Amino acid sequence: MRATAPLRDMVRETRLDPAQFVLPLFVCPGEGIKREIGAMPDNYQMSIDEIVKECAEVAGLGIGGIILFGLPETKDELASGAYDDHGIVQRAIRAIKAEVANLLVITDVCNCEYTSHGHCGFIKTGDVEGRVDNDVTLQWLAKSALSHARAGADIVAPSDMMDGRVWAIRQALDANGFEMTPILSYAAKFASVFYGPFREAADSAPQFGDRRSYQMDPANAREAMREIELDLEEGADMIMVKPAMPYLDLIAKARERFDVPLAAYQVSGEYSMIVAAARNGWLDYERAMMESLTSIARAGAGMILTYFSKPAARLLG
């Protein structure tokens, strides 16, 4: 059954489609800015005008959507930039929606890019461990998600891992006429070393402590299922496992257990490892990229957030 290419094509069990890809994009202040991210080659911090051009290209490749991360002009202890109706992400959504059709705009809902200390929520003064005050943070998240929906976001995606956030966001959206806006929850998000390059991209490294008090322990699989279950009870429409490749077992488990759309985030470190090895001549770039994406789809992810969206879509095109 493997003798010829047509035979292999016919019996292939897993197929990739650009419509299932979501490209993460980083929006920064200014105009005409396209700054390459050192640890993530071919990925850029872009001003709104450049992001709009990028989105037109992304839509042209048949890619399903983008997910936006913001680099605000200023940061403060209250993450005000996260829920400002004229914040960087809110303005970017409006600009993209005005210019580009047939592209889902998903927004990351979190505070770490907007807090001066780089944590995902409110931290009581003097707490050097970086323990986030869950309930104050919920209010910021609800306001942020609502401001994204108002700006035209198609899907909001909370990534903070606070307890009760999906419920808080659902209430805020429903009370303001956004009953139709789906929530994609980063339901099982692990405290992973593979986020390293992203923190340069989003300028969001914690200034003290780490995120282990709110992100999950990489050793815990049962807890991941419990976290997903809770988010679904709170009203999540789609769920995500993050990172992807070191957690394929959990993607497969979640696929068997839950009948909602399942996303996986192939994070910055997963991308950078492959690109670095390929640049050293140690791996074939295209084959490594496609094999990694295929493995994530085979494990059961219907949607894949990946920095390979464009090159993979071109190859599939």
Instruction: Give catalytic residues, as residue numbers.
Output: 189, 242
Q: How many CB atoms lie within 10 A of CB 36?
A: 10
Stretch of 81-89, 90-98, 101-109, 113-121 contacting Zn ion, by CB under 5 A: 113-121
**Closest approach of Zn ion to the CB of residue 211, in Å:** 7
142 binds Zn ion (CB under 5 A): no
239 binds Zn ion (CB under 5 A): no
Residue 240 sits in the site that holds Zn ion (CB under 5 A): no
Closer residue to Zn ion, CB minimum distance, 160 or 270? 160
Q: Which run of H or of E encompasses 6?
A: helix 5-11
Q: What are phi and psi of 273, to 5 degrees?
A: -60, -45
Tally helices (H) and strands (E) across the chain.
Answer: 11, 12
Q: Which two tokens stand for residue 212?
A: 């282990």
CB 163 within 8 A of CB 136: no
Q: Is 23 in the site for Zn ion (CB under 5 A)?
A: no
173 touching Zn ion, by CB under 5 A: no
**Quick check: 138 binds Zn ion (CB under 5 A)?**
no
Is residue 110 at the binding interface for Zn ion, with CB under 5 A as the rule? Answer: yes
Q: Select the residue interacting with Zn ion from 40, 66, 68, 112 (CB under 5 A).
A: 112
Minimum CB distance to Zn ion smaller for 52 or for 202: 202
The two three-digit tokens of residue 220, written as one number: 């815990």
Q: Does 251 bind Zn ion (CB under 5 A)?
A: no
Using CA atoms, how far residue 34 sits from 49, 293, 317, in Å, is 10, 26, 26
120 contributes a contact to Zn ion by CB under 5 A: yes
Q: Is 24 exposed, middle or buried (0-12, 13-18, 19+ CB in 10 A)?
A: buried
- The span from the CA of 128 to the CA of 201, in Å, is 24
DSSP collapsed to 3 states, 273-292: HHHHHHHCCCCCHHHHHHHH
Only one of the segments 114-122, 167-175, 212-220, 294-302 lies at the binding site for Zn ion (rule: CB under 5 A); that segment is 114-122
Which range binds Zn ion by CB under 5 A, 59-67, 117-125, 142-150, 307-315? 117-125
Name the 3-class secondary structure at 268: helix
The span of 44-52, 60-68, 120-128, 249-257 binding Zn ion (CB under 5 A) equals 120-128
Number of residues that bind Zn ion (CB under 5 A): 3
Q: How far is the CB of 147 from Zn ion (least distance, A)?
A: 17
Q: Where do the DSSP E strands lie in 126-235?
A: 132-133, 155-158, 184-189
Residues 258-287 as x/- pattern, contact with Zn ion by CB under 5 A:
------------------------------
Q: Is the dihedral of CA 58, 85, 235, 109 positive or negative?
A: positive
Residues engaged in binding Zn ion (CB under 5 A): 110, 112, 120
